[in-house]
Amino acid sequence: MTADHESTTSNGEPEPSDSLKTFGAVMKALREAAGLTQEEFAPRVRYSPAYIAKIEQGKRFPPENLPERATEALGPVAGKVLAAAARSLRRRAGLASWFQQWAGIEEEAITLYAYECRGVPGLLQPEEYIRAVFERQLPPLTELQIQRQVSARLERQRLLTERPNTAFNFIIEQSLLERQVGGTAVTAVVFDHLLDIGRCNNVEIQLMPLRQEDHTGIDGQMYLAESPGNEWFGYIEGHRSSALLTAPSEVSILLQRYGKLRSQALDCRATVSLLEQMRGAL
C-alpha cells in the first residue's frame, strides 16, 4: 500500500525537514547563479522539472547521483557544494523519510512493479477505499487528518496518467478483495476501479488466486522500480518501518521473486474474468 500517510502537510505533500529545505535552497541558489531555470536545469541532470522543483522545496530526498550530474551542469565547485550538503542531510528516523526517497524514485520510474498481500496498492485505491483504510488507523485520525491522507494518495495516483510510457505491473492477492474492507459498497467501487484502470495500455493487474501451492510471496509485499538510467531499486514495509533497497544483490533477489510471482498469478485476461465474477457475486 506504501506508507505515504506519514508526516504530510495540508496539501498532501510530505512535510519538509529543515535539512531537506536547506539542501533545496542551496541547489536553487547554485542553479540561479548559473542562470538556469528549473526547466533548463532539469534535462541537464536528467530529471523532470517537477522532480527538481520538489527537491528545491525540500519535499524529496535528492538522488545519490544528483551532485555528480549537477557537476556537469553547474561546474565542479557547485558539485562539491551539493555533495557536502547531501552528506549533511539528517534523515528523520522511520518510515516517512524512507518513503520520501521512494516517492522520488517512483515519480521518475520507467518500470514499476508492486506485489501486495496486505491491501490494494496505493496507486490503485479509489477514494472510498482510501478513506476506509484511514478511518481504521490506530491511533485514530481526525477528519482533517483523514482528508489530508486521502488527498495525498489521490495526488500520487496521477503517476498512472501522467507517465503513459511507464510500465506498471501490480500483483494483488485475491484474499484482499474477499476481505471487503469498508463493506460491500466500497468493495464494489474497488472492483469497478480496478477493471477501469486495467484497461490502460501501460497498466497490468494480476490477481494471485487463493490457492497457489508454489506461492513465492511468503516474505511479504514488495515494490520495485527501474530508473531512467536502468538502475533498479526495491522498497519494502513493515509496521512503522520501511526500507529502500539499493544494493544490486538485494534488489536482484526481489526481482527474481517478483518474476516468479508474475508466473504464478493469473494473467491479465483471467484476472479481468475473475474480477467481473467477484463483482457480480457481491
Residue with cell 528545491: 56
CA distances to 3, 4, 111, 151, 227 from 97, in Å: 10, 10, 22, 19, 20
Does 5 score more than 70 pLDDT?
no
- Total Cβ atoms within 10 A of residue 109: 23
Using pLDDT thresholds of 50, 70 and 90, give the confidence band for residue 7: very low
Q: What is the pLDDT of residues 201-253, one digit of tens each?
A: 999 999 999 999 999 999 999 999 999 889 999 999 888 778 889 899 999 99
The pLDDT, as a whole number, for residue 148 is 87
Using pLDDT thresholds of 50, 70 and 90, give the confidence band for residue 91: very low
Q: What is the pLDDT of residues 163-208, one digit of tens each?
A: 999 999 999 999 999 999 999 999 999 999 999 999 999 999 999 9
Q: What is the pLDDT of residues 73-89, one digit of tens each?
A: 999 999 999 988 887 76
Q: How many helices (H) and strands (E) does the chain have?
A: 13, 6
DSSP string, 1-60: ---TTSSB-TTSSBPPPHHHHHHHHHHHHHHHHTT--HHHHHHHHTS-HHHHHHHHTT-S
User: Could you tell me the three cell numbers for 249?
Assistant: 544483490
Rounded to the nearest 5°, which phi and psi values hold at 115? -120, 125
Distance of alpha carbon 257 from its chain centroid, rounded?
A: 19
Using pLDDT thresholds of 50, 70 and 90, give the confidence band for residue 18: confident
Q: What is the pLDDT of residues 25-66, one digit of tens each?
A: 999 999 999 999 999 999 999 888 988 998 999 888 888 789
Give the predicted TM-score (pTM) of the model: 0.75
Which one has a higher pLDDT value, 100 or 219? Answer: 219
The pLDDT, as a whole number, for residue 20 is 82
